[in-house]
């Protein structure tokens, strides 16, 4: 145990009589700090994002949930002609309508919310 105590006492983080040193940082070159330079965000282009489309919601009581079985119909609050909500990584990004493309469901974007509205979603 004494050897461990001596090692701790001698570690650089625990020395009492150390003086701070100045650090020299490299200067940032103009044009590399972001802004309108499209190359500054290239590394972000391959990041995968999850898109979720919410058809509708409803609330039911536990008793009603237990009565559900195969073939049961659950009515949603949203009307058939209302736009669906589109979420990217669980954040509302816009609205759209459900369409079919090559026998698969798809979404036609009808509205992308403004950056100001997106900020409100984050709060």
**pLDDT tens digits for 108-119?**
999 999 988 877
Question: 83 and 119 in contact (C-beta within 8 Å)?
Answer: no
* Residues 11-66 pLDDT 10s: 555 556 677 887 777 776 665 455 556 567 788 888 999 999 999 999 999 999 99
Domain ranges of the chain: 52-123
Give CA–CA dist 28/33, Å, rounded. Answer: 7
pLDDT at residue 9 tops 60: no
Give CA–CA dist 44/42, Å, rounded. Answer: 5
Mean pLDDT computed over every residue of the chain:
82
**Superfamily name with CATH number, domain 52-123:** SpoA-like (2.30.330.10)
pTM of the model: 0.59
pLDDT at residue 122 tops 90: no
């Amino acid at each position: 145990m004494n050897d461990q105590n001596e090692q701790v006492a001698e570690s650089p983080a625990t020395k009492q009589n150390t003086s701070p040193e100045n650090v020299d940082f490299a200067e940032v070159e103009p044009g590399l700090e972001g802004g309108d330079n499209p190359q500054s965000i290239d590394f972000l282009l391959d990041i995968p994002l999850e898109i979720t489309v919410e058809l509708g919601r409803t609330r039911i009581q536990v008793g009603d949930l237990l009565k559900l079985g195969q073939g049961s119909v659950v009515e949603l609050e949203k009307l058939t002609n209302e736009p669906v909500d589109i979420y990217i990584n669980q954040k509302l990004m816009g609205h759209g309508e459900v369409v079919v493309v090559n026998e698969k469901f798809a979404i036609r974007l009808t509205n992308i919310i403004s950056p100001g509205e997106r900020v409100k979603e984050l709060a």
